[in-house]
Every structure is written in structure tokens, then in C-alpha cells.
């Protein structure tokens, strides 16, 4: 696969110049020309695990097509080149790089960066330049919070937070607790959204939110918050938190001897190698997962065989690879179906997608979202073990309590 890594300066241009550049890049490829696809990924910074594994998935899908002679567009085979840039987990940088990928590198479409704080600004660029963007590892409601009057060129393929919230309470039902819950949520776009979903749904499942603790992103001292949570007597902690903050939270819980029966960690708990990264504290932590062994998704055994070693286990790293591969195939299939690299026609073809991918069935709704199945998993060494079934009506395996890493 052809691939370039670039260092990018900020792009300053008027709207008319941006659209003119876009029109030039999206007007179609000459016979046999290489088709350029761009992506800005968090290859460094707190979201690095998402970015590095998405890149593996993007490259795997493109490598398959190139090895078979290229992508057939209206009877002509084209090699695909992926241009990759590192946004260092910074939304402003991701926005600048997305513009450069189109205007400087000639990308005719974009693959997304992961998480709402990065994907929303890149989606804004896609809308401005009228260039198709497909994202994943970006919870749908958080992404839609930045849609304004609605997305036209941006698409998201991931789980819906409402379904994720349901699986958390369903997982909690698998063991005996006092049904009291304390929340830890940061102030990023998806933090307040998730906190509200927990509050709105707790009573429906027979649970009580006894405390809701908010904190800024980048918080490293949780002493007062953990003392407050411990005093609440809650058996269950539900958190939405980035990895570095999640590590600090677990360390403080261990220091203060707060060991709830169940610990849900969204975002941080989806970091591959979480048990090792936390020096064992993450053992037994629960996290929603869009891919897990036993879900019965297409080509499950094949992807485990090919990528388990790279992912460091059967975990969310592998899930990122699967989702990265899947959104890339959706984009390439749309280009083929459109019979051109014209941005508007490719975008229309994406909207008509109705296919089964290794990440699950994909069909976009009116909001440009395709909701994937989500299950709850529990960390056990290098692997995340599925604890709720895909229909949410039973246990896939026995949940282990209390949180082993905090004992």
C-alpha cells in the first residue's frame, strides 16, 4: 500500500478557495491514476491506542485491494494511496490536517480520527469542503452533538450511547449489588451526554444515582472525588474518562481502599493493554465493546488469527482494527459503486450502503449514522471477555466481582 506521513502547518484560506480546491480534487481520476484517501489520526497523545490500531485496519483493507490489482472504478483499476497524519490527540490540529489532506495532498475522501472531540472538527471540515468522511470509534450521540443543522458529507459507524447505557445496567444485573451508583464524567463533548443518559435510565433498571462527580479533562488528583464517592456507599462506579485520567482515578481508589463491586470505565477502559498500562489496577474493569470474541461477527476467527498479536490480545485494540478495516471497505465500495471519484457521487453511494462487514451490518440512517451492536466486556489480563449477550438478555459468561485490580 502506498502511504505517506506528512508534517502539516495550519492551512489558512477563504471559503471560496477551500471549495475551489475541493472541486479540483473531487472531480474524478484520470485512467489508472492513484486514488488518494486521507486520515488524521491520534498516533500520539492520550488517544494513541485508538489511532494506531485504526491505522492498521485502514491499511489492511487498502492492502487487500491493491494486491488484487487495485480498485475497479468504471472499468479501470486504480491503486489506493493512504496519506496519514498524526494529530497528537488534538482537535484543532485534526481540523488543520483534514484541510491539508484535501487541499495539499489531493485526498478525494477522508477516514476519521476517533472520538467526538477529534471527529467533530474533522466532520466540520468535510462539510465545508464537501468531501466524504466516514468515521468510527466515535459514539453516535456525541458525534451528532456537533452536527448543527445536520451532516451532509460526514458519516459515522459505531455504537449508540443509549444502547451502550442499557448494556451497562444489564451487566450490573448479573451480580448482586446495593444498586447504588456513583458517576465520574469529564467535561469533553461525550462526558455530559453520557452522564445524562445514566441519570435518565437508572431508575428504569432499578438503580439509584447517589452522586454525580464532574471533573475537567487532564485531572490528575482525584483524592477529594474518591473520598466523596467512597462515602456514598455505592457498589457501582460508572465513568467516562480518558486513559491518563482513568489511571489516576484507579490509583487513588486503590490508595483510599475504595473497591466497588463493579467499575465501568468508558473510553479509558477501551484502551488495549489496559491491565498492563494500569499496572494491574484495570483487572476486572468493565467497558462497552463494539467487538469481542463470541459476538459471532463476520470473519471473527480470521481477524483474531491475523491481528491478535498486533492488538496484544482479544480486546478493543482488535476492535479498532476491525472497525478501521470495515469503514475503509465501505468507502472503497462506495467509490466503486459510484464509478467515479466525484465527491458528491461517492457521498450518495455511501448513503446507499447496505452491507455486512466484519464490524457488523451497516446501513446509514437519516442522521448519517450506522449503529453497531455493543456488548459489555470485562478485562482479564490481555483480553476483554464478553459478559452480556448481543441481545442484552443474558450472560455470556460469569461476571467477576469485586474489581480484582483494586483488591
C-alpha cell at 25: 480534487
Residue 186, strand partner residues: 215
Q: With beta carbons less than 8 A apart as the criterion, state whether 98 and 110 touch.
A: yes
pLDDT at residue 391, rounded to an integer: 85
Neighbours of 400 (CB within 10 A): 17
User: Which residue positions in the chain have pLDDT lower than 50?
Assistant: 2-30
Helical spans, DSSP H, in 108-159: 116-129, 140-144
In a shared domain, residues 276 and 328: no
Indicate the helix (H) or strand (E) that contains 102.
Answer: helix 91-103
In a shared domain, residues 265 and 401: yes
In a shared domain, residues 16 and 153: yes
User: What pLDDT digit, counting tens, does each position of 149-178 carry?
Assistant: 999 999 999 999 999 999 999 999 999 999
Annotate 196-256 with DSSP letters as a single string: HHHHHHTGGGT-EEEEEEEE-TT----HHHHHHHHHHT-SEEEEEE-HHHHHHHHHHHHHH
* pTM given for the model: 0.90
> Which residue is associated with the grid cell 459478559?
387
Q: By three-state DSSP, how is residue 15 classified?
A: helix
In a shared domain, residues 9 and 155: yes
In a shared domain, residues 316 and 339: yes
pLDDT at residue 28, rounded to an integer: 43
In a shared domain, residues 333 and 383: no
| Residue 116's CATH number | 3.40.50.2300
In a shared domain, residues 114 and 181: no
Q: By three-state DSSP, how is residue 395 classified?
A: strand
> What secondary structure letter does DSSP report for 394?
S
- Which H, E and C letters describe the chain, residue by residue? CEEEECCCCCCCCCHHHHHHHHHHHCCCCCCCCCEEEEEEECCCCCCHHHHHHHHHHHHHHHHHHHHCCCEEECCEEECEEEEEEECCCCHHHHHHHHHHHHHCCCCCEEECCCCHHHHHHHHHHHHHHCCCEEECCCCHHHHHCCCCCCCCCEEEEECCHHHHHHHHHHHHCCCCCCCEEEEEEECCCHHHHHHHHHHHHCHHHCCEEEEEEEECCCCCCCHHHHHHHHHHCCCEEEEEECHHHHHHHHHHHHHHCCCCCEEEEEEHHHCCCHHHHCCCCCCCCEEEECCCCCCCCCCHHHHHHHHHHHHCCCCHHHHHHHHHHHHHHHHHHHHHHHCCCCHHHHHHHHHCCEEEECCEEEECCCCCEEECCCEEEEEECCEEEECECCCCCCECCCCCCCCHHHC
Residue 5, strand partner residues: 84
Q: Is 48 exposed, middle or buried (0-12, 13-18, 19+ CB in 10 A)?
A: middle
In a shared domain, residues 116 and 171: no
Cα–Cα dist 332/4, whole Å: 19
Where in the sequence is the domain holding 146, given as residue range(s)?
A: 2-159+297-371
Q: With beta carbons less than 8 A apart as the criterion, state whether 225 and 245 touch.
A: no
Residue 182, strand partner residues: 211, 237
Q: Count the domains in the chain.
A: 2
In a shared domain, residues 140 and 196: no
In a shared domain, residues 367 and 380: no
Neighbours of 199 (CB within 10 A): 13
Cα–Cα dist 157/143, whole Å: 10
In a shared domain, residues 288 and 219: yes
User: What pLDDT digit, counting tens, does each position of 96-116 carry?
Assistant: 999 999 999 999 999 999 999
pLDDT at residue 21, rounded to an integer: 40
In a shared domain, residues 388 and 253: yes
Amino acid at each position: 500500500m502506498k502511504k505517506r506521513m506528512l508534517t502539516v502547518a495550519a492551512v489558512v484560506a477563504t471559503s471560496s478557495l477551500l471549495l475551489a480546491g475541493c472541486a479540483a480534487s473531487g472531480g474524478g481520476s484520470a485512467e489508472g491514476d492513484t486514488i488518494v484517501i486521507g486520515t488524521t489520526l491520534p498516533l500520539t497523545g492520550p488517544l494513541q491506542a485508538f489511532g494506531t490500531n485504526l491505522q492498521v485496519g485502514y491499511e489492511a483493507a487498502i492492502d487487500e485491494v491493491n494486491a488484487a490489482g487495485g480498485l475497479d472504478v468504471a472499468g479501470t483499476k486504480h491503486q489506493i494511496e493512504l496519506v496519514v497524519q498524526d494529530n497528537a490527540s488534538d482537535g484543532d490540529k485534526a481540523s488543520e490536517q483534514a484541510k491539508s489532506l484535501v487541499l495539499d495532498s489531493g485526498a478525494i475522501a477522508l477516514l476519521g480520527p476517533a472520538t467526538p472531540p477529534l471527529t467533530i472538527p474533522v466532520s466540520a471540515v468535510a462539510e465545508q469542503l464537501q468531501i466524504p468522511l466516514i468515521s468510527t470509534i466515535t459514539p453516535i450521540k456525541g458525534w451528532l452533538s456537533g452536527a448543527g443543522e445536520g451532516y451532509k458529507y460526514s458519516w459515522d459507524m459505531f455504537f449508540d450511547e443509549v444502547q451502550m447505557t442499557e448494556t451497562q445496567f444489564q451487566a450490573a444485573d448479573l451480580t448482586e449489588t446495593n444498586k447504588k451508583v456513583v458517576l465520574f464524567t469529564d467535561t469533553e463533548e461525550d462526558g455530559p451526554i453520557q452522564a445524562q443518559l445514566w441519570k435518565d435510565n437508572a431508575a428504569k433498571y432499578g438503580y439509584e444515582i447517589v452522586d454525580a462527580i464532574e471533573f475537567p479533562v487532564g485531572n490528575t488528583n482525584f483524592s477529594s472525588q474518591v473520598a466523596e464517592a467512597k462515602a456514598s456507599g455505592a457498589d457501582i462506579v460508572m465513568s467516562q474518562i480518558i486513559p491518563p485520567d482513568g489511571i489516576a482515578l484507579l490509583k487513588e481508589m486503590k490508595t483510599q481502599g475504595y473497591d466497588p463491586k463493579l467499575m465501568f470505565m468508558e473510553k479509558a477502559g477501551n484502551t488495549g493493554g489496559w491491565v498492563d498500562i494500569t499496572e494491574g489496577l484495570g483487572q476486572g474493569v468493565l467497558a462497552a465493546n463494539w467487538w469481542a470474541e463470541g459476538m459471532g461477527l463476520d470473519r471473527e476467527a480470521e481477524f483474531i488469527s491475523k491481528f491478535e498479536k498486533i492488538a496484544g490480545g482479544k480486546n478493543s485494540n482488535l476492535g479498532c482494527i476491525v472497525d478501521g478495516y470495515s469503514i475503509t471497505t465501505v468507502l472503497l465500495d462506495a467509490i466503486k459503486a459510484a464509478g467515479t471519484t466525484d465527491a458528491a457521487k461517492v457521498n450518495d453511494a455511501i448513503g446507499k450502503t447496505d452491507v455486512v462487514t466484519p464490524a457488523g451490518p451497516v446501513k446509514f440512517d437519516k442522521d448519517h449514522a450506522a449503529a453497531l451492536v455493543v456488548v459489555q466486556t470485562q478485562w482479564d489480563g490481555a483480553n476483554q471477555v464478553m459478559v452480556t449477550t448481543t441481545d442484552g438478555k443474558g450472560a455470556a459468561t460469569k461476571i467477576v466481582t469485586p474489581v480484582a485490580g483494586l483488591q
